[in-house]
Amino acid sequence: MSETTEQEEAQTVSGSRHDRMVKLRAWVVFSGHPMDGCLLVFANTRNAARKAGFSKGPWEWADYIDVSARRAPEHDKYATGEHPYVIVTNEELPAGAVPFYANGAI
């Protein structure tokens, strides 16, 4: 058996699980049905997306437990930064991006 140095061990950790945790993924967050109003949230996990979108959503009377998040992998490529953030309208997306809600949904 060979001994690993701290540096090699750190590279192994940073090259596996840690890198996957930092990459933000896109989620459509809504209460009830997405057609009733939704947000596009970039976060690491479903619950982090629900938490980030809960306070910014178009729903006034929903409880946190009523808020759902559904993956939107087609929007993953627009994620920037390392911290969760919310996109409220299609206009906030880059030019040519696929809309996350249909016109008139919000």
| pLDDT tens digits, 37-50 | 899 999 999 999 99
Q: Is residue 6 part of a domain?
A: no
Is the torsion defined by CA of 70, 57, 44, 42 positive or negative? positive
Domain count, the chain: 1
Q: Is residue 31 part of a domain?
A: yes
Q: Is residue 38 part of a domain?
A: yes
Q: Is residue 72 part of a domain?
A: yes
Q: Mind listing the pLDDT tens digit for each residue in 16-39?
A: 444 444 689 999 999 988 888 899
List, edge to edge, every strand of the sheet that includes 85-87.
67-71, 25-31, 38-43, 85-87
Q: Is residue 12 part of a domain?
A: no
Q: Is residue 99 part of a domain?
A: no
Q: Mind listing the pLDDT tens digit for each residue in 57-69?
A: 887 778 889 999 9
Q: Is residue 40 part of a domain?
A: yes
Domain extent for 27: 23-92
Q: Is residue 13 part of a domain?
A: no
Full-model pTM: 0.74
| C-alpha pair distances (Å), 49 with each of 3, 64, 104 | 41, 11, 23
